[in-house]
């Protein structure tokens, strides 16, 4: 069978090699096979070759390398193109028989000396196959290096598949790549890794990297990978040295990568210290010189020469440096039997990508440190699983994570766990096993490295995954240990017993000295170890008292505990355990021994412990920082999505994780909600849509399906729906009603949880309410009731705190997107418009969504902020309006009752019809001349009685321009009818734009921006350009459908970007004035029974008038006085209207929109009360009532929903 062979230049290097060049002779053992040619083998020969391939794959743990065109002695003879093709075909036949994959990794051009002068090549081919009973090949690599070397950035680029921005802001590097690896708040804020982070990079059978940019979870990556590289990242700063040492001991690294900053001296910081640790532990090393994009050639040569000199020195045991410059260097390293003594060096830039492809190729060909024989031997040993951490999952049980050092674990196994505090072990039953979060029926031990501990009179002992303080009780035959000496010492654990065995290796560290050794025997709970001291400088290690510093870092609050501890030979364990927690108010307190209260601790700090050798200092937590993350939710009529941004990387917006989007709405899902038979949440988005429309008609009644329900919150002349807490929604397939608040809340809860889960996967943080600012966008033309309705629905989820929620207007945040990115797009374009948006420029924003269209005018002020020139206006002119009108036409053809029954009984057939129309609607163009065809499904035709019945119905009821072809089974929509459908939304849109431009002549509007998903319609944007391009520049951003999400993230970071807003309606309250018969109608006259004063009722006192500009935090003040001094409460009834001539709240067009209740028990009013209305641009309207004499005030937001009927 012919196979297509990839020969991408990015993976192969064509380099001339002399004919007399040779490879090392072929070895009988190992996974490398030399073949001069594989041309037309006989069946017996083919069977022998397949058996040989199985052997090589077994030797290579699922990987074998075939050198084609190479003799057994290593001579490179090469093959012609025909011979190569035939050999590759044979190799594929061999691989197909055992279900293996074949990929070319290297091509070598051989200069021919023959008379025919035909070019000849030698190939290197990788054959991969994961045995059915074996896991994917796993290689663990520890990443070392000094602080600011770029370790986390390198791993972020390798695993995420996106280059770093390398940005420097206020002298602090804020590269976005490393943010994906940080797990704690202080890491994100400081930019330094302090904990042990693990990231994975997968390779498939053909050697293609599998990264997070293509797959969202580690489970997906592991399931698709035949080789997994596990990177272990740890802190580079010296104060995190204990963590770095622990990462080497507990993670069992096969290799170590030393990352060096090309701009820093080689011996600065912890570079040499980390290198010496890896050499002492006999972990193979590779060196990555990072940040070469910031260096010139001379600087690169200097640092490269220094690295090569260091590696070849006795400090590194005279290892052999090899600079990886091309694919041949990788092959030379892989084929060299002495590669354990070789150190490959890479020159890398995480910003421009230099050297990354070579590093990928190197990692792909990297072999595990343990061969198949030793691995099988390890599997046959008794099971030993070292537990790193345990946690309890509700309804599941206790989960233990760690490293399988030897043996095999299967589901159903019975193991012993311990030792407990009393030294005993207990039996446990294994119910399930996972590797990298993927369920496995069994797992077995993988290759690992040596174990280590640290040395000192009182020291932290590192043995495998054990890390505990110990005391040296004795040194055999010596009082002191000097450099390069060995001795047996006795060390005792202080806190608790540990599980260890004879022969375990360990590492001890004291100040600048290190020691490695192994356990020889036990004495009670003490252990005897043979230790060899290893350090760079020559000095003695004495037994004396030492200082111990404990850094306790907590979620949300940070403390530092510093103490001095005295150890002596008779001390056997600590006397006290320390635990720190935070209470509900986020104030620190300590629980120490007998749970003393915080106040007692501060009063008697020196007497907290009975042991006077302790003294502690507490540094209070810093003020509450700004939220770390902004999450924006664009809750649309047709499609919904979210995006988030980290505060310390504001230029990188992370959009909703990738979903299959066949309809072109990337980063969003349909706004569809499905309830189960109990009317509880079932699913949302594409999952809900697919599930419902694939149901059988007999099953539909068990579910409730909602779509396009956002339009229920839009009120205009045609839709006068009262927006309050009792608003109901009806599923499209049911007759029952359910609270609209519940439907919106379920939808927002799903989106919030998805966003938090995705953020957690990216940064690993455990988030609280104070960590996230939520921004929900709404149409600017919505009423105040609708905006508050969304706020209440969001708060009802329980995931959003009201103080951390901001309601943003869609056209305003779309304007922020245009202001931010348009300058780049214009600068790169060849148009005649200016390349930047300068202060003073005015522009029109048209946000074209699925349900509504919002239009407003903005101006860039001198300070760069945005001022609104015209109040937002618009209407229900979104893309769904065209769908609705098309469906009305079809409904008229078949009859309303019959059509509605069809929608309920055949939802999948209905969806097929509407999706087909949606595709034709997007294809529509003004210059299109042929009909748009919609293919009807067989189920649609049969439901309505067959082709003959359909022909009759269309002939009788279809409008001009719509016809049915029984021969082809299609509906034809001619251009005239399609234009009419679009004109129903284009004409009112154009009228509104003309009106705004006419009113804003003095502001010289120069640009018109089209944003939103509907802006990508050629019919829409070409018609708008046709009408307005002679007057101004019409611009459609490249990501118009994501403009609202991007702008909402920017708005969440800085709400002050919008400095002023135009009020959509006139707002005021109902008051009473002294009656004046010359101006007041007699019908409004009222006489006070208390003092016979004549009053005029229902007077509409206006706070702010329609289209009036309100600045940021601007207050509009009015002074009022209660009618009666005995009043203990005051009610402000809030009214709104678009009637500029309204004088009374009973006039036409004046509607009650809310109320404000103020308790007056504590306020005396000799001089009146002074309410001030303030429309905060990042919140809702707020009113403050202040006593002018005492200064006491009462503050509240207007309730637009609960009080409409009171």
The rounded distance, in Å, linking the Cα atoms of 103 and 124 is 9
pLDDT of residue 1015 exceeding 50, the answer is yes
Q: How far apart are CA 462 and CA 899, in angstroms?
A: 74
Contacts of 985 (CB under 8 A, 6+ apart): 853, 877, 878, 879, 881, 882, 1020
pLDDT at residue 1078 above 80?
Answer: yes
- Per-state percent for the chain, helix, strand, coil, to nearest 5: 30, 30, 40
Give me 1067's structure tokens.
Answer: 């707002």
Integer angstrom CA distances of residue 332 from 68, 104, 121, 342:
16, 16, 17, 11
Work out the pLDDT band at 972, boundaries 50, 70, 90: very high
- d(CA 1040, CA 1028) in angstroms, rounded, equals 19
- Please give the C-alpha separations between residue 882 and each of 580, 708, 852, 976, 1041, in angstroms, as whole numbers: 61, 13, 12, 14, 18
What is the Cα–Cα distance from 35 to 819, expressed in whole angstroms? Answer: 62
For residue 515, what pLDDT is reported? 64
pLDDT cut 90: percent of the chain above it? 11
Question: What is the secondary structure of 82-123 as a DSSP string?
Answer: HHHHHHHHHHHHHHHHTT-EEEEEEEEEE---STT---EEEE
Backbone angles phi, psi at 1014, to 5 degrees: -70, -15
Given a cut of 90, whether residue 716 has pLDDT beyond it is no
What pLDDT, on a 0 to 100 scale, did the predictor assign at position 723? 80
Give the E-state strand segments of 608-707 in sequence order: 617-618, 629-635, 639-646, 654-655, 669-670, 672-675, 681-684, 704-707
Predicted pLDDT at 613: 28
**Higher pLDDT among residues 819 and 123, named by residue:** 123
Kindly tell me if the per-residue pLDDT of 836 is higher than 70: no
CA distance 423 to 420: 5
Assigned fold of 15-128: Translation Initiation Factor IF3 (3.30.110)
Answer yes or no: same fold for 376-444 and 810-876+985-1050. Answer: no
CA distance 816 to 1058: 9
User: 356-365 and 327-335 are packed helices; what angle lies between their axes, rounded to 10 degrees?
Assistant: 20
**In the prediction, which pLDDT does 630 show?**
92
Q: Where is average pLDDT lowest: 264-268, 542-546, 653-657?
A: 542-546
- The model's pLDDT over 493-531, given as tens digits with 9 standing for 90+, comes to 766 677 777 777 776 655 444 567 777 776 544 444 444
* Kind of pairing between the strands at 1066-1074 and 1129-1137: antiparallel
SS3 212: coil
Tokens 């009618």 label which residue? 1123
Q: For residue 192, what pLDDT is reported?
A: 61
Q: Determine contact, residues 877/853, Cβ cutoff 8 Å.
A: yes
What is the model's pLDDT at position 391? 66
**CATH says 1063-1197 is which class?**
mainly beta
Rounded-to-integer distance, Cα 974 and Cα 961, Å: 5
Cα dist. 691→133, 460, 675, 703, 1182 in Å?
Answer: 36, 57, 11, 10, 44
Return d(Cα 487, Cα 1103) in angstroms, integer: 88
How far is 690 from 259, CA to CA, in rounded Å? Answer: 48
Work out the pLDDT band at 193, boundaries 50, 70, 90.
low
Contact 452, 469 (CB under 8 A): no
Whose tokens are 């520049």? That residue is 1033
- Weakest-pLDDT range from 287-291, 955-959, 1058-1062: 1058-1062
pLDDT of 177 over the 60 cut: no
pLDDT at 953: 92
DSSP state of 1032: S
The strand pairing partners of 645, in sequence order, are: 630
Span 1026-1063, pLDDT tens digits: 899 888 888 888 888 888 998 999 888 888 888 777 88
Place of tokens 């082809």: 968
In the predicted model, what is the mean pLDDT of the chain?
Answer: 73
Q: How far is C-alpha 808 from the chain's CA centre? A: 22
At 454 the pLDDT is 30
Q: What is the DSSP letter of 939?
A: H
What pLDDT band is residue 443 in, cutting at 50, 70 and 90? low
Cβ atoms of residues 378 and 445 within 8 Å: yes
pTM for the whole structure: 0.53
pLDDT recorded at residue 269: 75
> What per-residue confidence (pLDDT) applies to 822?
62
User: Are the beta carbons of 1136 and 1147 closer than 8 angstroms?
Assistant: no
pLDDT computed for residue 214 by the predictor = 65
Number of H helices, E strands in the chain: 24, 64
The residue whose two tokens read 């690896």 is 181
At residue 910, what are phi and psi to the nearest 5 degrees? Answer: -60, -45
CA distance 1092 to 942: 80
Confidence band (pLDDT; 50, 70, 90) for 732? confident
At 435, the pLDDT band (50, 70, 90 cuts) reads low
Q: Does domain 376-444 have CATH number 2.40.30.10?
A: yes
Structure-block tokens of residue 734: 């049911």
Segment 797-813 mean pLDDT: 87
User: What are the extents of the domains in the chain?
Assistant: 15-128, 137-369, 376-444, 458-534, 548-618, 810-876+985-1050, 880-919+928-981, 1063-1197
Q: What is the pLDDT of residues 405-424, one digit of tens each?
A: 677 777 667 778 877 766 77
Task: Report the C-alpha gap between 62 and 54 in whole angstroms.
Answer: 9
Residue with tokens 């400095």: 1059
- Count Cβ atoms below 10 Å from residue 224 Cβ, excluding itself: 16
pLDDT(682) > 70:
yes
The fold for domain 810-876+985-1050 equals Nucleotidyltransferase; domain 5 (3.30.420)
CA proximity to 191, closest of 169, 207, 175? 175
d(CA 710, CA 718): 16
Measuring CA to CA, which residue among 812, 760, 770, 746 is closest to residue 644? Answer: 760
User: Predicted confidence band at 1174 (pLDDT cuts at 50, 70, 90)?
Assistant: very low
pLDDT tens track for 92-117 = 888 888 778 888 877 888 876 555 56
Per-residue model confidence as pLDDT tens digits over 461-473: 677 767 676 667 7
* Residue that wins the pLDDT comparison between 549 and 1133: 1133
Question: In this model, does residue 565 exceed pLDDT 50?
Answer: no
Please choose, from the candidates 1112, 1137, 1104, the residue with its C-alpha nearest in 3D space to the C-alpha of residue 1061. 1112
Structure confidence at residue 1113 (pLDDT): 65
What's the rounded Cα separation, in Å, for the pair 510 and 937? Answer: 78
The span from the CA of 288 to the CA of 323, in Å, is: 10
Q: Report the Cα–Cα distance between both ends of the chain, in Å, rounded.
A: 81
Using the predicted structure, report yes or no on whether residue 321 has a pLDDT greater than 70: yes
Please tell me whether residue 423 adopts helix, strand or coil conformation.
Answer: coil
How many Å apart are CA 1105 and CA 1117, to the nearest integer? 14
pLDDT of residue 615: 29
Contact 291, 300 (CB under 8 A): no
- Picking from 502-506, 762-766, 775-779, which range would have the lowest pLDDT averaged per residue? 762-766
More confident residue, 123 or 269: 123
Write out pLDDT tens, residues 160-175: 777 876 654 433 445 5
DSSP strands (E only) in 554-615: 561-563, 578-582, 588-592
Q: Given this model, what pLDDT does residue 958 score?
A: 92
CB count within 10 Å of CB 405 equals 20
Summarised one tens digit per residue, pLDDT across range 1125-1143 is: 666 677 778 888 888 889 9
Q: Is it the case that residue 742 has pLDDT exceeding 90?
A: yes
Output 86 or 456, whichever has higher pLDDT: 86
For the segment 568-578, the average pLDDT, to the nearest whole number, is 28
Are residues 1106 and 1138 in contact, defined by beta-carbon separation less than 8 angstroms?
Answer: yes
Least confident of 571-580, 967-976, 1107-1116: 571-580
Q: Are 1168 and 1119 in contact (CB under 8 A)?
A: yes
Is residue 172 reached through a cis peptide bond, with omega within 30 degrees of 0 on the bond before it?
no
Q: What is the pLDDT confidence band of residue 1187, given thresholds at 50, 70 and 90?
A: low
Write the DSSP assignment of 1110-1155 as a string of letters.
EETT-EEE--B--SSTT-SEEEEEEEEES-TT--BTTSTT-EEEEE
Q: Which CATH superfamily includes the segment(s) 137-369?
A: P-loop containing nucleotide triphosphate hydrolases (3.40.50.300)
Most confident range (mean pLDDT) of 371-385, 449-463, 491-505, 542-556 is: 491-505
Q: Which band of pLDDT confidence, cut at 50, 70 and 90, is reported for residue 912?
A: confident
* pLDDT tens sequence across 16-75: 334 446 777 887 777 888 888 888 888 878 888 888 888 888 777 778 889 898 888 888
Per-residue pLDDT at 1196 = 55
- Residue 485 vs residues 313, 481, 532: alpha-carbon distances, Å: 22, 6, 6
Long-range contacts, stretch 440-444, CB < 8 angstroms, 24+ apart: 440/135, 441/410, 441/411, 442/408, 442/409, 442/410, 442/411, 443/135, 443/404, 443/408, 443/409, 444/135, 444/379, 444/404, 444/407, 444/408, 444/409
Q: Can you say how many angstroms the Cα of residue 779 is from the centroid of all Cα atoms in its chain? A: 27
- With beta carbons less than 8 A apart as the criterion, state whether 1109 and 1099 touch: no
* Residues 214-270: tens digit of each pLDDT: 665 666 677 677 788 888 877 767 766 776 777 666 667 888 889 998 888 777 777
Q: What is the mean pLDDT of residues 745-766?
A: 84
How far does CA 304 lie from the centroid of its chain? 36
Q: Quick one: which of 845, 849, 842 has its CA closest to 876? A: 849
Q: Which one, of 553, 512, 554, lies nearest residue 533 by Cα?
A: 512
Res 699: pLDDT: 79
CB 507 within 8 A of CB 557: no
Look at residues 401, 400, 410 and name the one whose alpha carbon lies nearest to residue 379: 410
Mean pLDDT computed over 467-495: 67
Closest CA to 1054 of 857, 866, 846: 866
User: Has residue 88 got a pLDDT over 50?
Assistant: yes
Query: Above 60 in pLDDT, residue 688?
Result: yes
CB atoms < 10 A from the CB of 186, how many? 13
CA 162/CA 213 separation, integer angstroms = 7
Cα–Cα–Cα angle for 1105, 1106, 1109, nearest 5°?
80
Rounded-to-integer distance, Cα 57 and Cα 32, Å:
9
């Amino acid at each position: 069978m012919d196979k297509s062979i990839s020969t991408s230049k990015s993976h192969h290097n064509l380099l001339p090699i002399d004919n007399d060049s040779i490879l090392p002779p072929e070895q009988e053992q190992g996974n490398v096979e030399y073949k001069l040619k594989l041309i037309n083998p006989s069946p017996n020969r083919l069977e022998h070759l397949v058996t040989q391939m199985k052997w090589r794959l077994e030797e290579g743990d699922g990987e074998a390398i075939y050198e084609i065109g190479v003799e057994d002695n290593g001579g490179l003879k090469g093959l012609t193109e025909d011979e190569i093709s035939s050999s590759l075909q044979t190799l594929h036949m061999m691989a197909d028989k055992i279900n293996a994959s074949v990929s070319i990794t290297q091509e070598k051009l051989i200069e021919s000396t023959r008379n025919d002068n035909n070019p000849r090549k030698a190939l290197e081919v990788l054959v991969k196959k994961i045995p059915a009973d074996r896991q994917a090949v796993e290689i663990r690599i520890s990443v070392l290096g000094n602080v600011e070397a770029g370790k986390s950035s390198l791993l972020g680029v390798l695993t995420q598949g996106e280059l770093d921005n390398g940005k420097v802001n206020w002298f602090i590097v804020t590269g976005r790549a490393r943010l994906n690896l940080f797990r704690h708040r202080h890491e994100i804020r400081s930019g330094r890794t302090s904990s042990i982070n693990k990231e994975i990079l997968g390779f498939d059978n053909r050697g293609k990297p599998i990264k997070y940019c293509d797959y969202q979870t580690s489970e997906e990556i592991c399931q698709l990978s035949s080789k997994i590289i596990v990177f272990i990242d740890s802190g580079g700063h010296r104060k995190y040295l204990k963590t770095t040492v622990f990462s080497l001991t507990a993670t069992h690294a096969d290799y170590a990568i030393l990352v060096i900053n090309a701009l820093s001296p080689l011996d600065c910081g912890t570079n040499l210290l980390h290198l010496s640790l890896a050499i002492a532990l006999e972990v193979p090393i590779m060196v990555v010189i990072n940040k070469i994009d910031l260096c010139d050639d001379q600087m690169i040569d200097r640092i490269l020469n220094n690295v090569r000199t260091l590696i070849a020195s006795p400090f590194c045991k005279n290892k052999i440096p090899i600079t990886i410059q091309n694919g041949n260097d990788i092959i030379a390293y892989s084929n060299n039997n002495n590669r354990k003594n070789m150190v490959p060096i890479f020159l890398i830039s995480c910003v421009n990508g230099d050297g990354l492809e070579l590093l990928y190729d190197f990692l792909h060909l990297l072999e595990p440190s343990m061969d198949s024989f030793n691995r099988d031997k390890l599997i046959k040993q008794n099971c030993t699983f070292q537990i790193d951490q345990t946690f309890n999952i509700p309804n599941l049980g206790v989960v233990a994570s760690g490293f399988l050092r030897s043996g095999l674990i299967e589901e159903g196994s019975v193991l012993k766990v311990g030792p407990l505090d009393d030294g005993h072990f207990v039996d446990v039953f294994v119910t399930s096993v996972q590797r990298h979060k993927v369920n496995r029926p069994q797992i077995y031990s993988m290759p690992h490295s040596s174990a280590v501990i640290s040395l000192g009179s009182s020291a932290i002992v590192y043995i495998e995954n054990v890390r505990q303080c110990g005391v040296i009780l004795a040194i055999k035959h010596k009082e002191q240990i000097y450099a390069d000496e060995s001795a047996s010492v006795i060390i005792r654990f202080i806190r608790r017993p540990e599980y260890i065995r004879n022969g375990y290796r360990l590492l001890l560290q004291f100040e600048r000295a290190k020691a490695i050794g192994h356990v020889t025997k036990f004495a009670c709970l003490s252990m005897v170890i043979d230790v060899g001291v290893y350090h760079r400088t020559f000095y003695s290690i004495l037994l004396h008292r030492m200082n111990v510093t404990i850094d306790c870092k907590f979620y949300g609050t940070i403390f530092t505990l510093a103490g001095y501890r005295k150890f002596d030979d008779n001390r056997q364990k600590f006397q006290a355990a320390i635990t720190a927690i935070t209470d509900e108010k986020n104030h620190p307190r300590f629980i120490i021994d007998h749970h003393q209260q915080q106040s007692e601790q501060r009063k008697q700090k020196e007497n907290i412990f009975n042991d006077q050798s302790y003294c502690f200092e507490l540094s209070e937590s810093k003020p509450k920082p700004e939220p770390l993350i902004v999450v924006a939710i664009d809750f649309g009529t047709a499609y919904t999505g979210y995006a988030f941004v980290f505060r310390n990387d504001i230029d990188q917006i992370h959009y909703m994780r990738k979903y299959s989007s066949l309809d072109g709405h990337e980063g969003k899902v349909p706004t569809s909600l499905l309830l189960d038979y109990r009317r509880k949440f079932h699913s949302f988005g594409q999952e809900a849509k697919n599930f419902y429309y694939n149901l059988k008609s007999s099953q539909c009644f068990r579910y409730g399906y909602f779509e396009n329900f956002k339009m229920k919150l839009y009120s205009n002349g045609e839709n006068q729906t009262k927006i309050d807490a009792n608003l109901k929604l009806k599923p499209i397939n049911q007759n029952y009603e359910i609270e609209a608040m519940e439907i919106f809340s379920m939808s927002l809860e799903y989106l919030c949880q998805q966003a938090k889960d995705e953020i957690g996967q990216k940064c690993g943080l455990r988030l609280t309410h104070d960590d996230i600012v939520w921004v929900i966008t709404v149409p600017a033309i919505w009423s105040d009731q609708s905006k508050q309705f969304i706020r209440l629905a969001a708060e009802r989820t329980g995931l959003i705190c009201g103080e951390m929620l901001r309601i943003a207007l869609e056209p305003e945040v779309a304007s922020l997107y245009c202001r931010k990115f348009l300058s780049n797009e214009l600068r790169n374009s060849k148009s005649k418009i200016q390349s930047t948006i300068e202060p003073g420029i005015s522009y029109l924003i048209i946000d074209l969504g699925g349900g509504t269209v919002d239009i407003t005018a903005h101006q860039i002020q001198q300070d760069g902020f945005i001022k609104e020139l015209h109040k937002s206006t618009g209407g229900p002119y979104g893309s769904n309006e065209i769908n609705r009108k098309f469906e009305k036409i079809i409904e008229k053809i078949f009859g309303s009752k019959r059509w509605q029954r069809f929608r309920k009984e055949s939802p999948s057939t209905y969806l097929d019809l509407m999706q087909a129309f949606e595709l034709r609607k997007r294809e529509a163009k003004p210059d299109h001349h042929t009909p748009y065809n919609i293919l009807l499904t067989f189920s649609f035709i049969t439901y309505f009685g067959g082709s003959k019945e359909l022909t009759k119905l269309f002939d009788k009821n279809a409008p001009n321009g719509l016809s049915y072809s029984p021969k082809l089974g299609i509906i034809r929509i001619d251009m005239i009818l399609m234009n009419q459908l679009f004109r129903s939304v284009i004409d009112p849109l154009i009228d509104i734009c003309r009106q705004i431009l006419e009113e804003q002549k003095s502001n010289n509007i120069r640009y018109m921006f089209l944003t939103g998903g509907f802006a990508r319609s050629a019919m829409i944007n070409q018609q708008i350009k046709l009408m307005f391009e002679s007057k101004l520049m019409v611009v459609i951003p490249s990501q118009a459908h994501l403009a609202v999400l991007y702008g909402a993230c920017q708005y969440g970071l800085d709400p002050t970007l919008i400095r002023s807003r135009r009020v959509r309606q006139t707002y005021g309250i109902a008051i009473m004035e002294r009656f004046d018969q010359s101006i007041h109608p007699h019908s409004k006259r009222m006489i006070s029974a208390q003092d016979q004063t004549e009053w005029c009722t229902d007077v509409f006192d206006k706070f702010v008038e329609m289209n009036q500009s309100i600045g940021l935090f601007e207050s509009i003040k009015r002074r009022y006085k209660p009618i009666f001094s005995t009043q203990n409460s005051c009610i402000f009834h809030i009214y709104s209207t678009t009637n500029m001539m309204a004088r009374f709240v009973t006039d036409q067009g004046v509607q009650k929109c809310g109320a404000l209740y103020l308790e007056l028990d504590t306020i005396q009013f000799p001089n009146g009360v002074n309410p001030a209305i303030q429309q905060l641009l990042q919140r809702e309207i707020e009113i403050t009532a202040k006593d002018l004499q005492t200064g006491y005030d009462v503050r509240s937001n207007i309730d637009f929903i609960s009080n409409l009927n009171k």
